[in-house]
């Protein structure tokens, strides 16, 4: 079912009706897709001020949409769609060599350190902008999860909304196992250590996402194991 748009005459305000394909998607990711070119910082500011609403109410950026939701979009300046961010050839060449898996549903990329997953916060481009330039024939490319700019590792890119929803479900239900390799200075006291600390996700005013230990956070258990000394 295609999404429908209704515009209030004279005000510039638009109302988008969420379709089945977008049901279950986070609001901020939906807005980035629908309002291409609008910086995330501007979108987060509009959400904080209540300029962007769902079903006439204020919502958080992590609100998950439901088919039939009415999303209020205020007038937001958008750059011309003919002016995509310029991606240096260096990154395009790097990423072409880092495609680990590719099919009609999914891209798996070994993201290098130093590349953000998306533009914003003073960055004109990131991984997703690079991929959209590399795959102009793909109508849908969305990040399934994120890694910090300085962290290298595998990133999943969904090529269909249904795939994005299913992978998000698996992430929410802790059916995905994430493992990281890290270099540690000094002597690690034990070969294995378990840290049980609640983690809370936060979005800064710049739009940058951070995770920190907080009593109000979600329980997180992290196991550390020495691989090599």
User: What local confidence, expressed as pLDDT, does residue 207 receive?
Assistant: 60
User: What local confidence, expressed as pLDDT, does residue 35 receive?
Assistant: 87
Looking at the chain, which residues constitute the CATH 3.30.2350.10 domain(s)?
89-172
- Please give the average pLDDT of every successive group of 10 residues along the chain, which has 229 residues: 54 87 87 85 92 95 93 78 71 93 96 88 83 89 90 94 90 87 84 89 68 88 87
Looking at the chain, which residues constitute the CATH 3.10.290.10 domain(s)?
4-73
Q: List the one residue out of 159, 6, 3, 8 whose CA is nearest residue 67.
A: 3
- Please indicate whether residue 148 is annotated as part of the active site: yes
> What is the value of pTM for the model shown?
0.61
Look up the CATH number of domain 89-172. 3.30.2350.10
User: What local confidence, expressed as pLDDT, does residue 2 receive?
Assistant: 46
User: What local confidence, expressed as pLDDT, does residue 121 receive?
Assistant: 65
Domain 4-73 in CATH 3.40.50.1220? The answer is: no
User: What local confidence, expressed as pLDDT, does residue 167 receive?
Assistant: 93
Catalytic residue among 21, 105, 148, 174: 148
Residue 115 has, within 13 A of its CA and on its CB side, a CA count of 24
């Amino acid at each position: 079912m295609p999404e429908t748009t209704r515009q209030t005459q004279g005000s510039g305000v638009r109302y988008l009706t969420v379709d089945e394909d977008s049901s279950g998607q986070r609001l901020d990711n939906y807005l980035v897709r629908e309002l291409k070119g609008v910086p995330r910082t501007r979108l987060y500011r509009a959400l904080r001020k209540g300029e962007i609403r769902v079903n006439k109410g204020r919502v958080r950026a992590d609100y998950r949409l439901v088919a039939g939701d009415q999303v209020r979009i205020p007038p937001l300046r958008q750059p011309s769609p003919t002016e995509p961010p310029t991606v240096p050839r260096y990154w395009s060449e790097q990423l072409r060599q880092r495609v680990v898996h590719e099919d009609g549903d999914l891209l798996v990329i070994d993201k290098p350190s130093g590349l953000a997953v998306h533009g914003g916060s003073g960055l004109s481009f990131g991984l997703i902008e690079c991929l959209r330039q590399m795959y102009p024939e793909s109508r849908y490319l969305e990040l399934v999860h994120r890694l910090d700019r300085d962290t290298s590792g595998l990133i999943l890119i969904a090529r269909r909304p249904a795939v994005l929803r299913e992978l998000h479900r698996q992430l929410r239900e802790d059916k995905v196992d994430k493992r990281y390799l890290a270099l540690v200075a000094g002597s690690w006291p034990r070969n294995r250590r378990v840290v049980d600390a609640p983690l809370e996700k936060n979005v800064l005013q710049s739009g940058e996402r951070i995770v920190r230990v907080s009593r109000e956070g979600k329980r997180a258990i992290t196991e550390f194991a020495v691989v090599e000394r």
